[in-house]
Amino acid sequence: MTPCATLSQEGGAKIPTDDAIPRALLAWYRRRRRDLPWRRTGDPYAIWVSEVMLQQTQVATVIPYYERWMRLFPTLSALAAAPESRVLKAWEGLGYYARARNLRRAAAQVLREHGGRLPDTAEALRRLPGVGRYTAGAVASIAFGRREPVVDGNVARVLCRLQRLRGNPKTPPLAERLWRIARAWLPPRRAGDFNQALMELGATVCLPRNPLCPACPLRRRCAARARGEERRLPRAPRRKALPHVEGAIGVVRHAGRILIDRRKPEGLLGGLWEFPGGKIEPSETPEACLRRELREELGIEADVLRPLTVLRHAYSHFRVTLHVFECRLRRGHAQPLACAECRWVRPADLRNYAFPAANRSVIALLLGSKQGGGITAPVATPLVHPPRIPMCRQAPARSAAGRRT
């Protein structure tokens, strides 16, 4: 057997079609599909949540987050009614936090505009915050049986190898061709199962570096394998070296409490809590940076007492080294000059707030050294509403608290 049994015309380009491919793939999927929690339900809301969580995140990582999320927010209305702080705490550690904020915003929009029922077409789904072409196609096909294609990283790899397509699948011309192929191959029925089968094949068999070709149900129709090129396709550009940033943050103490602040909703790590600090400028020491950041962004003076640790963390577009210091408030009334809000909290209450990964390492250090044990892993952390405690001053007054960007 050979790939591309027939060709169809679509958008001025010849698109390969082969009815045997969906038949073989669906038969394989019935036998080999993994038992995943979101595959045990037909609830569109649950399927939507799973698809958002699975974006750029491995299945094994998502499973405990998904199960916990569905216990905390079992319905779309429960999610829409939840405070953002509680939603972000449930997402803590999963990364790409805009996904959580958009889920909550979209849930509220569905209640307002659709009577609490998730739209059942890809076109309508794409009008929701955070829903793009892939998520709309996945939810429409899996939850509602719509004949819509999906192309994620796994699907792109499968299609590039089956058709021996060269180039970077993220470039617009090739990406659009992959979407046309995925649509042309959709069976008349069971589009959702077919889409999941393509993704399953890419995740478990058609692996990036070492594809398990003998186990592939489409091995005889794979053009790349026929030419011995399966390990070389798809091609991707060399990764650029990530820029490196150095920063300093402080554990600022006063009257038995520690100063934390919440980032503004927009931008990287929006809405999360953190310890104050900022980027080290050229020719500036970490200690000088921290004193300057506390003065400029919080309006306070603090003594930088001693270094606590140095943390290294990588984000998708840059790497950061954070110098962490123990500090003590000297004078001033902290104000949220560059953040959403800020608070003085008891050390034991730090675990009740959603922090980025690097900051959680600081919390583990603090609670471990003070209480003889580390912080609970994010997945298992009990989720509670943050306690009512004094907040930063919004204008001159008598309380103390603070912030940084």
Catalytic residues, which ones?
Answer: 51
∠ CA 37-141-35, nearest 5°, is: 20
∠ CA 179-47-41, nearest 5°, is: 125
Return the bridge partners of 244, or none: 319
> Both tokens of residue 75?
């319905």
Spatial separation of the C-alpha atoms in residues 205 and 203, rounded to whole Å:
6
Burial class (CB in 10 A: 0-12, 13-18, 19+), 319: middle
Q: Find tokens 């909290």 and name the residue.
A: 345
Are the beta carbons of 188 and 23 closer than 8 angstroms? no
Are the beta carbons of 21 and 3 closer than 8 angstroms? no
SS3 state at 29: helix
* Amino acid (1-letter code) at residue 109: Q
Spatial separation of the C-alpha atoms in residues 258 and 347, rounded to whole Å:
6
Q: Which helix (H) or strand (E) holds 98?
A: helix 98-114
Phi/psi at 331 (5° precision)? -160, 165
Q: Find tokens 């998502």 and name the residue.
A: 62
Phi/psi at 381 (5° precision)? -60, 125
Whether residue 336 has a cis bond before it, omega within 30° of 0? no
In this structure, the chain runs to a length of: 405
Give the other-Cβ count within 10 Å of 248's Cβ: 28
For β-strands 277-279 and 244-254, DSSP reports them as antiparallel
Spatial separation of the C-alpha atoms in residues 22 and 10, rounded to whole Å:
19
CA nearest neighbour of 264 among 274, 254, 255: 274
Are the beta carbons of 390 and 343 closer than 8 angstroms? yes
Return the bridge partners of 328, or none: 253, 303
Q: Strand ranges (DSSP E) for 158-300?
A: 244-254, 257-262, 273-274, 277-279
